[in-house]
A and B are shown apart, each in its own frame.
Chain A
Amino acid sequence: MYNLIVFLVLLLLGYGVGQYAERRHYRSIIEREGRLNALPAIASRYPPTQPHYRQALVTGSTVISVDYFKRFLAALRNLFGGRVTSYESLLDRARRESLLRMKQQAASMGAAMVFNVKYETASISKGRGNTIGSIEVLAYGTALIEPRGQ
């Protein structure tokens, strides 16, 4: 009985706080994405040859954790199979946040664009029963900075 109460409280806390945090995070992501839209991130390996841009490696990373409620949903989903939307939004948030941080770093250097953008995802802690606890996403690329004095 006691266990059940703890479980329900955790579930409710996870749902309430988790949903609120996610919505707030998405609002902030969309707002910052709008501001950094002028700085394109490109996945091409071949940079433009003219003008001779200066280069610098830029990185952005995020470690983000799933809440108790979503982990419960995912465990249920494991029984029936199908899309695990609760993890999809987690990964989506982590990727977009990492890309934004990378772009912010590039913007602070005065870069014109970021080339050869790559993502690297790793789950850094496993919860009970090998469910995903938290994931790290790293976005990195080469910032091309407009040469000065031309």
Chain B
Amino acid sequence: MLISNLELIPGRRVVEHLGLVQGSSVRAKHVGRDIMAGLKNIFGGELKGYTELLQESREEAMQRLQQQAEAVGANAILNVRFSTSSVAQGAAEIYVYGTAVTLE
């Protein structure tokens, strides 16, 4: 499965547009990480635990995106976009969407 955030693939023609596919994932951290993050809020700096967490949930969202694209019979997803929003204190939603297409 080819996933790209470009709108066209040089040298390959889009045979069929199959519509929008999407994947999302909401995750929260365990309390230990929240406490560490509270400390980091005093000293500043990178919150490694949160970076990892969001990366994991992004991978999960991408998996769901891919599953959906496979279900409609696509072989590529073009024009992929990410979006992040915090839905509650300590939980974030990752949303990925793109256009499922068939390339020749």
Contacts and interface: CB of A to CB of B under 8 A. Distances in A.
A34 interface: no
Contacts of B47: 63-65, 134
A52 B7 CA distance: 15
A126 B41 CA distance: 11
B14 interface: no
Given A49-B11, A67-B43, A141-B5, A125 B54 contact: no
A125 B89 contact: yes
B45 A136 contact: no
B32 interface: no
Contact of B86 (A47, A56, A124): A124
A99 B30 CA distance: 28
Interface stretch (B16-24, B67-75, B76-84): B76-84
Contact of B9 (A45, A55, A120, A138): A55
Contacts of B6: 45-47, 55, 115-116, 142
B42 interface: yes
Interface string A55-69: 111010111111110
A51 to B, nearest CB: 9
Given A125-B90, A126-B89, A13 B43 contact: yes
Given A61-B55, A62-B51, A140-B82, A118 B5 contact: yes
**Which 9 residue pairs across A and B have the least CB separation, nearest first?**
A67-B44, A122-B84, A63-B50, A18-B44, A52-B11, A49-B10, A17-B43, A63-B47, A68-B42
Interface of B: 2-11, 37, 40-47, 50-51, 54-55, 58, 80-86, 89-90, 92
